[in-house]
Amino acid sequence: MENPFDNNEHGKQAIRVIGILEDAGLEAWLVGGCVRDALLGRPVHDFDIACNALWSETQAVLEASGIHTVETGIAHGTLTAVSKGTPLEITTYRIDGAYTDGRHPDSVQFTRSIQEDLARRDFTINAMAWHPTRGLLDPFNGQADLHARTLRAVGEPEKRFMEDALRILRGVRFASQLGFAIDQETASGMRAQASNLDLIATERIAHELEGLLCGKHVHGALMAYADVIGRVIPEITPMIGFDQKTKYHIYDVWEHTAYAVQYATPEPLTRWATLFHDIGKPSTFTIDEEGIGHFYGHAHEGIPPAKRAMKRLKMSPSFIERVAMLVRYHDCPTIPEPKYVKRLLRKLDGDPDLLRALCSVKRADSLSHAPAYRSGVAHAQAIEDCLDLILRESQPFTVAALDISGKDLLAMGMPQGPHIGAALNAMLEAVMDETLPNERAALLRFAREWWSKRETEIKQA
């Protein structure tokens, strides 16, 4: 077969390193995801090499050739080589021992057989090796599964997922990213071992979930494997199959959510926020005498379960708060005019990027409504257009943007204390309402009048 790495500079460095190792009498192959992605025509960023030598032998050969190495995982036979700025992981062929904890092999046995090394891998599409002269080694028909767009476990599926339950979420992530269908026997094995996900470190789970959520085919993955995802995010399970009983929706809460995630900008912040945007609906559901469903306050009620899930997944506090703000304001009515958009900006900590993310969530939410009720798409765009105008004209929406500061208020005689902040906020409100120009002289006049009234109120109290 043709060299799939011809146009990839990092791939050329990997081939160079393989040549150095083999010139020294060793055997080496490119393996795993880089082979899969190259065959799919996808961008390849990480290159893994498998070698029949122990890491110390590999290190000696490479260092003698002037290639710097780093001992990154020598307990498992892994060395990182850096060839002309390209990092390459080189791992000794190995056979994994028993997985008594459902997460890591109890032991690793090194082997001289590339076939034995490939046999320990998770899915057939990841169990291929490629060599610049010997071509493709594909003992488990991974290339055929690539062509069939099928995800299939290597060997007995249930045993594969019993060894390391994280492979279950990896499978759903691959389905989301590649748009592949999971082989029926493989899917059954995933579900049979899903309870072992409880043994996996939450950071590893969060990483797989994020990749899943940002996939191009996330709707299908969320719909097909809601039960598996619900194992690690139980907060979503009440949404599954929940009939909304309203003309605005043609999908239950979960399918509406799955479509919304698909439509949202494929970035972690917007995808996580969209996953949680309607999580408060089941707990706030009411139905009127005409049989129409309502979800009053669902955005606010969705914040605690969303935060609970993200904290359990050990996401950063700042990221959790940003997601929570998007959940809270995703259905907040906003008139697309500068003074109203600036008020919304203030609620979002004056962060234009967060407002853009909110517009993405609003757009995705509206696209997932019944076709006759998708006016929110244009509305979200109008808000974002208004934001562009505000930024282009440098219109103030934070105290820092005022043509006056707290020092100026102190200089005019206002005492140190909470009055300073209150006066600045009052000025900002007037400026955003366009009843006060953002000009120093006008702001000082406003401040003097404001402080005079406040002094009178204090004396009368």
Closest CA to 376 of 269, 233, 263: 263
Binned at pLDDT 50, 70 and 90, residue 21 comes out as very high
- Per-residue pLDDT at 160 exceeds 70: yes
337 SS3 class: coil
Per-residue pLDDT, 106: 57
Cα(220)–Cα(232) distance, rounded to whole angstroms? 18
| Domain end marker among 140, 158, 177 | 140
168, 131: one domain: no
Residue 242 maps to a domain: no
Tokens describing residue 67: 């290639």
Q: What mean pLDDT value characterizes the chain?
A: 93
Q: Is the pLDDT of residue 40 over 80?
A: yes
pLDDT, tens digit, 9 for 90 and up, residues 262-300: 999 999 999 999 999 999 999 999 999 999 999 999 999
Give the span between the Cα atoms of 207 and 268, in whole angstroms.
10
Q: How confident is the model at residue 11 (pLDDT cuts 50, 70, 90)?
A: confident
- Specify the 3-state DSSP secondary structure of 91: strand
Span 176-186, average pLDDT: 97
Sorted by sequence, the CB contacts under 8 Å of residue 10 that are 6+ apart come out as 44, 45, 47, 86
One-letter identity of residue 130: W
The letter for the amino acid at 89 is: E
Beta bridge partners of 86: 83
Burial classification of residue 13, based on how many CB atoms lie within 10 Å of its CB (0-12 exposed, 13-18 middle, 19 or more buried): buried
Angle between helices 253-263 and 352-367 (to 10 degrees): 130
Q: Residues 333, 435: one domain? A: no
The answer to whether residue 178 sits within a structural domain is yes
Which carries the bigger pLDDT value, residue 82 or residue 110?
82
pLDDT above 80 (res 96) = no
> Per residue in 435-450, pLDDT tens?
999 999 999 999 899 9
For residue 252, tell me if it sits in a domain: no
The verdict on 311 and 363 lying in the same domain is: yes
Q: Which of 140, 168, 195 is the endpoint of a domain? A: 140
- Please state the separation of Cα 118 from the chain's center in Å: 29
**Crossing angle of helices 268-276 and 253-263, rounded to 10°:** 170
232, 247, 279: which is the final residue of a domain? 232
HSE toward the beta carbon, residue 171, CA cutoff 13 A: 36
Q: Which pLDDT belongs to residue 6?
A: 73
Query: CA angle, 336 as apex, 331 and 342 as ends, to 5°?
Result: 90
Closest CA to 264 of 330, 322, 308: 330
Q: Are residues 345 and 452 in the same domain?
A: no
Same domain, 125 and 154: no
Count structural domains, the chain: 4
If asked whether residues 384 and 338 sit together in one domain, one would say yes
Give the structural domain span for 360.
257-395
pLDDT in tens, 129-143: 999 999 999 999 999
Task: Encode pLDDT of 382-434 as tens digits.
Answer: 999 999 999 999 999 999 999 999 898 999 888 898 889 999 999 999 999 88
- Spell out the alpha helix ranges (H) of 193-347: 202-213, 218-224, 226-232, 253-263, 268-276, 281-284, 298-301, 303-312, 317-329, 338-347
pTM of the entire predicted model: 0.91
Structure tokens that stand for 348 in this block = 């979002």
How many residues in total does the chain contain?
Answer: 461
| Confidence at residue 130, expressed as pLDDT on a 0 to 100 scale | 96
Same domain, residue pair 216 and 284: no
pLDDT at 196: 95
Task: Looking at the structure, tell me whether residues 46 and 93 fall in a common domain.
Answer: yes
